[in-house]
Amino acid sequence: GDTWEQTKINNLNGTMQKVAFNSTMNGVIICIGGQIVSTTDKGITWNTASTISTIGSVSISITEDDIIYVSDNSKIQKSSDFGVSWTLLNSTSDNYDINFISQNIGFAVGRGNYSGGEFG
């Protein structure tokens, strides 16, 4: 982080929601509305990977082996081909953020089930 370079990304088609990198070369951005763009050259160029159906707040995570996970307020999806195709993993509710550290280990943060009372 000692030096920074500004890069204009022309093909976002929406407001950037979250950026994730798994190395100095590979990264992904998800925008409100489900547009996903990716880079394989340190962010110098960005290409549209896909557009997926999303509802509400979205989050994106990429593992060391280039598997991309996306969550929104109602589901978690996975892509093993750098965003070309998607598989529905789980229908959930009120996801706010996800982070996968490998293909089999990940964390999701959400609202959970409110039981009432002062501390829920």
Per-residue pLDDT band at 120 (split at 50, 70, 90): very low
Residue 96 has pLDDT above 60, yes or no: yes
User: Tell me: the pLDDT tens digits for 34-48?
Assistant: 889 999 999 988 988
Residue 90 has pLDDT above 80, yes or no: no
Per-residue pLDDT band at 26 (split at 50, 70, 90): very high
CB contact set of 95 (below 8 Å; sequence gap of 6+): 57, 59, 71, 72, 73, 74, 76, 108, 109, 110
The stretch 47-58 carries a mean pLDDT of: 82
- Indicate the pTM of the whole model: 0.82
